[in-house]
Amino acid sequence: MGLRESVKFGVEGPNYPWEAVRDIALLAEKTGFDSFWMPDHLVATGVRRWDALHAWGALCALAVQTKRIKLATGVSDTFRHHPASLAQMAATCDVLSNGRAILGIGIGEAMNLVPFGIPFDKPVGRTIEAIQIIRRLFSEDFVDFKGEYYELKHAFLRPRPVVPLSETKNRSTVPIFIAASSPRTMKVTARYGDGWLPANLTPDEYKDNLKKIRENAKAFQRAPSSIEPAHFMYVVVANDVETARKAIMPTGKMMLLSRPRIIEKLGFQPPSYDFEMTFKLVFPRDGEAWLTKSREIPDEVVERAPFLWGEPDDIADKIDKFVEAGCSNFVLNFQVSRRLLKETCKLFAEKVMPHFREK
């Protein structure tokens, strides 16, 4: 099997409503996607709607309505839940789905934490300890742990994930995919991750960072091949380029305004830093202001940003560049209205995915 034929595709669904979440997950399974990813937020992002369902609750409901597709969070933080509780949620989904759960983990976002009085300090250090605890609860009979942030005494988790540890070559039986883009979090991925899930990198950035992760994995005496290279990407696929371009502009500009460092990397000055999502708060009352300010971003910035947009053949060519850079698992967030989400998923499955399946 060549590089192209080994590529996997996942789709991230909406936060709400349940009917839309369910329908996209069932459609993804029917049309051949490999995984369905549920955003894990207390507060969704939007202009007028900020509703968010509990990610693991939704995934557990999907576990009994699907048969094949992997079920994942994109991604869970380790602040809102004690790591033992997060491990239990992932293990429960794994049991209900007969071994199809994936635990996506990231450092978190202020909007999901600060308004609720949840401390958002030392995010990387806390996340490292949480991952250590989760791994041990998945694999050990009893866990004693004393760290800077967490302490466990003779703790255990039952039921464990469904696959016996002996069959997983000492890896977590619920794979842990780590959302990492900084040098420190990439080292965390190299040491503890079953998968690497950065977001919105260029092919060259992806290739360089994957090389660093694999080098660090060797330093931690891990096989580099044990870490699955994935990539979270914003996508618009349409039957003609102009339709795709019009669709990506408003949502692409809002996304870029919430991540001003990407704008800077592209050689432009962000019109504002007030809407940065990770470490600042964007409340529902700010939605219209966020949209209005994003319109100041030139179209050229979106055109140069590492988004996937265009006709199916254009998308396949762009994905090819990431495959050559080492990526084998694409998690796609379709930047279209809920009204167009189903037909966009179908178009991608029917016109793009066949480029990456065995002939």
Structure tokens at 192: 């503890």
Residues in Cβ contact with 145 at an 8 Å cutoff, skipping those fewer than 6 apart: 129, 132, 133, 136, 151, 152, 155
Are residues 236 and 244 in contact, defined by beta-carbon separation less than 8 angstroms? yes
Whether 41 is catalytic is: yes
Whether 355 is catalytic: no
Task: Output the 3-class SS for 128-145.
Answer: HHHHHHHHHHHHCCCEEE
Q: Which candidate in 12, 29, 109, 311 is catalytic?
A: 109
Bond prior to 161 in cis (omega within 30° of 0): no
* Residue environment code for 234-262, b if the CB has 16+ CB neighbours within 10 A, otherwise e: bbbbbeeeeebbebbbebbbbbbbbbbeb
Active-site residue identified among 41, 129, 231, 276 = 41
358 exposure class (CB count in 10 Å sphere: 0-12, 13-18, 19+): exposed
- Tokens (6 digits) for 317: 């060519």
Sequence-distant (6+) residues with CB within 8 A of 166 are none
Q: What is the rounded distance in angstroms from the CA atom of residue 323 to the CA atom of residue 6?
A: 10
Residues 105, 182: Cα–Cα separation, whole Å: 14
Give the CA-trace dihedral at 147, 149, 155, 161, to 10 degrees: -100
The string of DSSP codes covering 152-217 is EEEE--SSPPSS-GGGTTTS-SS-EEE---SHHHHHHHHHH-SEE--BS--HHHHHHHHHHHHHHH
β partners of residue 71: 36, 101
The token duo for 243 is: 């339709």
Contact 72, 93 (CB under 8 A): no
Q: Which residues of 158-172 are buried (b: 16+ CB within 10 A; e: fewer)?
A: eebbbeeeeebeebb
Give me the active site residues, please. Answer: 41, 109
